[in-house]
């Protein structure tokens, strides 16, 4: 039973380019969460999605960042016109249902903006 | 708002030493509390959890007790191993509903042979 998968594991972008981060939740999980981890800091919640719906995006920057979780395919976190401050590790987690206590994390995507 | 405060690291111990990592929380409701562990280059893994006051979570020799009176959830292990070297995150989630989990800043543990 595969765990949460994220790709790419490492992504390098120049300032102004777009970054697309993908997350495939565990089989049977329909709830996805995105977190950002800056160097030497904890995880900060960004967005919570269910299939085709954004439930809570209170942690998402208002500009340049967007997320989706389509009916088919992985969840996508998209960062437009990246800046150096976007360099971080981005983690995706999934859970099977609304009552689940535990979230299962992917290995993360490390974004470096040059 | 809800928040988690944990002791700053890094914590450096010799093998077989006793480990305590302090964690306190602030929450408006009745949170569930968690410890997650992150090994180098990997994502977070749930280490243990407790869902109500006085519950003790335990796993792989680690323990933590949900103390409502002191709003704490300190992580302990009687005898650490080199393989325990990692970053440990205390976290809380209020209520059910699949909403966001609030994480502490993490405590890095180094265990020397």
For chain B of 113 residues, list the mean pLDDT of each consecutive stretch of 10.
Answer: 88 97 91 92 90 94 96 97 96 71 92 96
- What pLDDT sits at residue B98? 53
B81 Cα to chain A: minimum distance (Å): 23
- What pLDDT sits at residue B101? 84
Report chain B residues whose CB lies below 8 A from the CB of A42. Answer: 89, 103-106
- What pLDDT sits at residue B30? 82
B69 Cα to chain A: minimum distance (Å): 23
Q: With CB atoms and an 8 Å threshold, state whether B96 touches A33.
A: no
- What pLDDT sits at residue B22? 97
Average pLDDT per consecutive 10 residues, chain A (114 residues; last block may be shorter): 88 98 94 89 89 91 96 96 96 84 89 97
Residue A43 sits at the chain B interface (C-beta within 8 Å):
yes
Q: What is the dihedral of CA A58, A59, A60, A63, to 10 degrees?
A: 80
Q: Nearest 5°: CA angle at B93, between A61 and B89?
A: 80
By three-state DSSP, how is residue A10 classified?
strand
Minimum CA–CA partner of A94 in chain B? B98
Residue B101 sits at the chain A interface (C-beta within 8 Å):
yes
């Amino acid at each position: 039973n595969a765990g949460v998968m994220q790709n790419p594991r490492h992504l390098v972008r120049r300032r102004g380019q777009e970054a697309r981060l993908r997350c495939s939740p565990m089989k049977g999980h329909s709830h996805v969460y995105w977190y950002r981890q800056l160097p030497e800091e904890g995880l900060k919640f960004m967005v919570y999605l269910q299939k085709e719906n954004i439930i809570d995006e209170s942690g998402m920057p208002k500009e340049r960042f967007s997320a989706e979780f389509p009916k088919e395919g992985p969840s996508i976190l998209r960062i437009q016109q990246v800046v150096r401050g976007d360099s971080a590790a981005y983690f995706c987690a999934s859970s099977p249902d609304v009552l689940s206590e535990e979230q299962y994390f992917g290995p993360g995507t490390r974004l470096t903006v040059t | 708002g809800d928040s988690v405060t944990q002791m700053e690291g890094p914590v450096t111990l010799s093998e077989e030493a006793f480990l305590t990592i302090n964690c306190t929380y602030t929450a408006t409701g009745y949170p569930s509390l968690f410890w997650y562990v992150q090994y180098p280059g990997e994502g977070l893994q749930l280490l243990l959890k407790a869902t109500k006051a006085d519950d003790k979570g335990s796993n792989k020799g680690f323990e933590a007790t949900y103390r409502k009176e002191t709003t704490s959830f300190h992580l302990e292990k009687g005898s650490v191993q080199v393989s325990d070297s990692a970053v440990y995150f205390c976290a809380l989630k209020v209520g059910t509903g699949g909403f966001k989990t609030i994480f502490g800043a993490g405590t890095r543990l180094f265990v020397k042979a």
